């Protein structure tokens, strides 16, 4: 019984402390408010605000992890997610500019 109580205590501490430690990378409340929503089309006002919020979050994450400053208004959120994946998998001799060329509009 003591083991179960200790496990529950450690689990509760972990659940409360982990978000505090990773607060900079956790998505904001605005992004989480879109969880489970479906958008009718790309011109929907909800979709454009979601795309803007998600793009801002992903651009901040790219800046923090890869030190590449991107304007989140110049790319869609899905483009920024793809750029992040490419930066994660790029070779050390590749420059970030060579990866960004394919996303220029």
Sequence spans of domains, the chain:
25-103
In tens, the pLDDT along 59-83 reads 999 999 999 999 999 999 999 999 9
**Residue 6: per-residue pLDDT:** 67
**Residue 86: per-residue pLDDT:** 93
**Would the pTM of this model clear 0.85, i.e. be above it?**
no
In tens, the pLDDT along 28-60 reads 677 778 877 888 888 888 888 889 999 999 999
**Residue 69: per-residue pLDDT:** 93
Asked if 52 contacts 78 with a C-beta cutoff of 8 angstroms, the reply is: no
* Whole-number Å distance between alpha carbons of 65 and 85: 12
CA dihedral 42, 45, 49, 54 (to 10 degrees): -30
**Residue 80: per-residue pLDDT:** 94
Count the helices and strands in the chain (H runs, E runs). 5, 0
């Amino acid at each position: 019984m003591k083991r179960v109580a200790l496990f529950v205590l450690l689990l509760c501490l972990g659940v409360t402390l982990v978000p505090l430690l990773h607060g900079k990378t956790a998505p904001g409340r605005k992004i989480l408010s879109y969880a489970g929503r479906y958008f009718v089309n790309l011109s929907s006002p909800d979709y454009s605000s979601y795309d803007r919020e998600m793009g801002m979050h992903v651009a901040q994450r790219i800046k923090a992890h890869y030190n590449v400053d991107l304007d989140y208004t110049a790319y869609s959120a899905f483009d920024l997610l793809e750029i992040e994946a490419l930066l994660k998998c790029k070779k050390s001799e590749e420059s970030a500019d060579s990866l960004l060329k394919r996303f220029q509009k």
